[in-house]
């Protein structure tokens, strides 16, 4: 009987894959319908990301964005979102290429780089963002269905959205492997709906449609009227964004927050690393190309909306895309499929992310959601939790209310991912610098006489000053160096003082334990294989997209994402940052001893200080060396 590869056991969806794999007969041929398969850059990464970031939100909200902000501001918003998505995706790619992380999704990736505390905290925020995104897609589905019948009642939309969400959750409890296997079919339907939209203005233009606000490309005045924003546009005697019309910059970022969820799926390729044939090649290619293709399609849709419909129709009619399309039915099916696929993907990923964090025991108290059901290990309790939160947000507001909440959560995750890539790069350079400092003495010193007092003393003196210089850079005091030199620092056994780096290390979560070398393993011990902080960090390989993975680009993106959180909604931004900070502090108090991560030795504040000295005090930034001249040698 076939066995699942051990390399995939960190993958979030490994339990479902392994269950299928072990029960397949020997004669069964893998296919998209039965049994686990390996995807590539196009049928796996590209398709998954396209399904997550292209579809329902653009079809429903694209016209509204153009109607309020005009073509010019809508294009600026699209360019900003594509850059944010590229920066976040490229940062995740850069981390994958520098480390041995291949499976486990974004949560494992950040835990490996920044440490288990930060990774678990960001993982919770990420799961929350996915949960609220499920609410948004469910609301989009209900809006599209009721829009066909001309109904726009808020409670009708909420009721239908909750019903659709509950059905998807019930299917999720039984296993939703069909989501992954059916993604090719889903993307074909969405592509057909897109083509239907693009050919619409060329084949449709009658008096009845003109009365509804659709003119096709035959009225040149429309594109001029829709070119620039109209922040004071009134809808039913109310500001379209329900905010003061004189604060134009707030209105711009309000629109950006509404449209931001359309770029919230850029990590789909990273999260499915265990399902890929060659992750190191498939993830970069599929991620970057899918974001660029989506960006081009967004630009085309924005121009079509602005060039074919009046401003009033764009703002008032969320189903204006169906009016533009050649076949309204096909366009609506595209919305239904993309929104249902979004709900299923989010309600599939968020509970398994919560279960993965619970299984790692990083957050005390979360182990309650570790419980699974059936051979496929369906996280029942986590699914119920995700469903409850999603329903609460459905009852709290509509698409325009939910979207800024999603934007802030994902901006925080994207910013931390960019920062993690920056830290990993700087940690790599720090390690290389240490290796140079710890390099062997020059060959001339090694060739000194091996016998006699002079040769031995000079070698010892040189070695001592090298050690003292290295210790000074690490902050080691002179007393520490003296204790090390005379072997009076410690009397611990060698097995404890110098543990094998390849051995398994048990980090205890409780302070009241037996710390002897042969102590028994207790239930609250956390097993960590080979300390992460001592693993190798590779240099960034050469590639056509390397400029996107540079630490400078990642740092700029991280800062921009943080600022953008406050510009979109400063209250939501403060809440997200406060929750993240409290989670990290709670993990630090309740689960001490977790891995510090590959970049644990890097300090951002120290880096800032060094850069400050380089710019404003270059003379003080010079490294000080003590040079001892050897005694004069008389010729013999």
Band of pLDDT at residue 104, cut at 50, 70 and 90: low
Do the beta carbons of residue 87 and residue 553 sit within 8 Å?
Answer: yes
Structure tokens at 229: 């924003």
Looking at residue 200, its pLDDT comes to 86
Q: Which of 197, 195, 248 is nearest to 63 (CA)?
A: 197
For 24-44, give one letter per residue: b (16+ CB within 10 A) or e. Answer: eeeeeeeeeeebbbebbbebb
Q: In 3-state terms, what secondary structure has residue 525?
A: strand
Judge whether 273 and 9 are in contact, CB under 8 Å. Answer: no
3-state secondary structure of 262: helix
**Count H helices, E strands: the chain?**
24, 2
Helices 399-437 + 116-148 axis angle, to 10: 150
Residue 577 above 90 pLDDT? yes
pLDDT in tens, 208-218: 777 787 887 77
Name the band, by pLDDT with cuts 50, 70 and 90, for residue 593. confident
What integer pLDDT is reported at residue 99 of this predicted model? 83
pLDDT (tens digit, 9 = 90+) per residue, 583-592? 999 999 988 8
Cβ neighbour number for residue 146 with a 10 Å cutoff = 18
Q: How far is CA 606 from CA 425, 473, 510, 601, 634, in A?
A: 15, 13, 32, 11, 48
421 SS3 class: helix
pLDDT grade, residue 322 (50/70/90)?
confident
Q: Is the pLDDT of residue 510 over 60?
A: no
pLDDT at 451 over 60: no
Q: How confident is the model at residue 272 (pLDDT cuts 50, 70, 90)?
A: confident
The helix (H) or strand (E) run that includes residue 352 is helix 328-359
Token readout for 98 is 């520098």
Residue 524 has pLDDT above 80, yes or no: no
CB-count burial class (<10 Å; 0-12, 13-18, 19+) for 583:
buried
In a domain, 19, yes or no: no
Task: Tell me the C-alpha distance between 551 and 548, whole Å.
Answer: 9
Share of the chain above pLDDT 70, in %: 70
Q: Is the pLDDT confidence value at 378 over 50?
A: yes
Give tens-digit pLDDT for 146-193. 888 877 788 898 999 999 999 988 887 766 555 666 777 888 899 999
Find residue 39's DSSP bridge partners: 276
In the predicted model, is pLDDT for residue 618 greater than 70? no
Under DSSP, the state recorded for 291 is H
Which residues lie below 8 Å from residue 199, measured CB to CB, with a gap of 6+? 326
Q: How confident is the model at residue 375 (pLDDT cuts 50, 70, 90)?
A: low
CA angle 252, 77, 294 (to 5 degrees): 155
The reply to whether 127 falls in a domain is yes
DSSP assigned state of 521: P
pLDDT, residue 460, reads 56
Q: Is the Cβ–Cβ distance between 400 and 136 less than 8 Å?
A: no
How many other CB atoms are there within 10 angstroms of residue 521's CB atom? 10
pLDDT confidence of residue 437: 75
Q: Nearest CA to 85 among 246, 290, 282? A: 290
Is the pLDDT at 33 greater than 60, yes or no? no
Does residue 518 fall inside a structural domain? Answer: no
Residue 401 has pLDDT above 90, yes or no: no
Q: Pick 439 or 155 by higher pLDDT.
A: 155
- Domain-embedded: residue 63: yes
Residue 180: per-residue pLDDT: 60
Nearest Cα to Cα of residue 66 among 408, 320, 266: 320
Q: Can you give the CATH number for the domain in which 117 is found? A: 1.20.1740.10
Confirm whether 397 is domain-assigned: yes
Q: What are phi and psi of 528, to 5 degrees?
A: -125, 125
Mean pLDDT rounded to a whole number for the chain: 76
For residue 351, being part of any structural domain is answered with yes
Q: How many domains does one find in the chain?
A: 1
Residue 503 has a pLDDT of: 37
Task: State which residues form the domain around 214.
Answer: 37-429
Residues 444-464 have a mean pLDDT of: 50
- Residue-wise pLDDT for 46-84, tens only, equals 888 888 888 788 888 888 899 888 999 999 999 999 999
pLDDT confidence tier of residue 461, bands split at 50, 70 and 90? low
Interatomic CA distance for residues 269 and 278, integer angstroms: 12
- pLDDT at residue 270 greater than cutoff 60: yes
- Residue 277 CB contacts under 8 Å (≥ 6 apart), including other chains: 38, 39, 40
Give a yes or no: residue 293 inside a domain.
yes
Beta partners for 309?
214
pLDDT for res 23: 46
pLDDT of amino acid 216: 79
91, pLDDT greater than 80: yes
* Separation of alpha carbons 398 and 160, rounded Å: 13
Q: Is residue 633 part of a domain?
A: no
Check: CB of residue 158 under 8 Å from CB of residue 74: no
């Amino acid at each position: 009987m076939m066995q699942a590869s051990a390399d995939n056991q960190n993958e979030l969806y490994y339990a479902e894959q392994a269950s299928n794999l072990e029960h397949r007969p020997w004669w069964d041929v893998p296919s998209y319908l039965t049994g686990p398969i390996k995807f590539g850059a196009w049928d796996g990464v590209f398709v998954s990301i396209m399904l997550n970031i292209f579809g329902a939100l653009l079809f429903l909200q694209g016209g509204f964005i153009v109607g309020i902000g005009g073509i010019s501001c809508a294009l600026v918003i699209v360019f900003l979102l594509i850059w944010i998505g590229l920066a976040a995706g490229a940062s995740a790619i850069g981390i994958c290429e520098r480390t041995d992380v291949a499976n486990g999704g974004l949560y494992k990736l950040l835990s490996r780089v920044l440490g288990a505390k930060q990774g678990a905290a960001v993982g919770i925020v990420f799961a929350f963002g996915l949960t609220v995104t499920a609410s948004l897609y469910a609301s989009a589905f209900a809006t599209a269905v009721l829009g066909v019948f001309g109904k726009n009642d808020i409670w009708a939309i909420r009721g239908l959205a909750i019903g659709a969400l509950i059905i998807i959750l019930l299917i999720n409890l039984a296993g939703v492997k069909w989501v992954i296997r059916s993604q090719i079919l889903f993307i074909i339907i969405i592509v057909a709906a897109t083509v239907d939209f693009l050919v619409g203005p060329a084949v449709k233009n009658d008096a009845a449609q003109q009365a509804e606000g659709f003119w096709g490309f035959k009225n040149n005045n429309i594109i001029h009227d829709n070119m620039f924003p109209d922040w004071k546009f009134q809808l039913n005697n109310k500001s379209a964004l329900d905010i003061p019309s004189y604060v134009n910059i707030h209105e711009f970022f309000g629109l950006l927050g509404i449209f931001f969820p359309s770029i919230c799926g850029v990590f789909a390729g990273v999260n499915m690393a265990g399902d890929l044939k060659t992750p190191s090649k498939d993830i970069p290619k599929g991620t970057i190309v899918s974001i660029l293709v989506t960006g081009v399609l967004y630009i085309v849709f924005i121009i079509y909306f602005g060039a074919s419909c009046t401003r009033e129709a764009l703002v008032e009619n969320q189903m204006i895309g169906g009016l533009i399309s050649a076949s309204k039915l096909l366009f609506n099916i595209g919305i239904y499929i993309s929104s249902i696929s979004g709900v299923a993907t989010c309600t599939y990923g968020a509970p398994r992310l919560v279960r993965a964090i619970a299984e790692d025991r990083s957050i005390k108290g979360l182990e309650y959601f570790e419980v699974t059901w059936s051979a496929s290990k369906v996280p029942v309790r986590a699914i119920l939790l995700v469903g409850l939160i999603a329903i609460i947000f459905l009852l709290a507001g509509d698409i325009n209310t939910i979207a800024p909440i999603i934007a802030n959560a994902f901006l925080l995750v994207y910013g931390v991912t960019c920062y993690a890539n920056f830290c990993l790069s700087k940690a790599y350079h720090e390690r290389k610098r240490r290796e140079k400092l710890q390099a062997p003495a020059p060959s001339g010193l090694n060739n000194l006489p091996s016998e006699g007092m002079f040769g031995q003393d000079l070698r010892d003196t040189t070695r001592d000053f090298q050690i003292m210089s290295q210790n000074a850079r690490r902050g080691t005091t002179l007393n520490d160096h003296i204790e090390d030199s005379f072997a009076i620092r410690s009397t611990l056994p060698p097995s404890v003082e110098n543990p094998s780096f390849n051995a398994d290390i048990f980090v205890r979560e409780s302070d009241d334990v037996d710390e002897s070398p042969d102590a028994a393993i207790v239930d609250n011990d956390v097993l960590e294989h080979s300390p992460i902080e001592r693993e190798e960090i590779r240099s960034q390989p050469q590639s056509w997209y390397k400029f996107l993975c540079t630490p400078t680009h990642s740092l700029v993106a991280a800062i921009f994402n943080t600022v953008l959180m406050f510009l979109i909604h400063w209250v939501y931004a403060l809440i997200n940052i406060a929750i993240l900070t409290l989670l990290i502090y709670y993990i630090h108090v309740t689960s001490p001893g977790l891995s510090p991560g590959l970049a644990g030795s890097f300090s951002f504040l120290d880096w800032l200080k060094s850069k400050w000295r380089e710019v404003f005090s270059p003379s003080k930034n010079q490294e000080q060396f003590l040079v001892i001249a050897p005694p004069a040698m008389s010729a013999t």
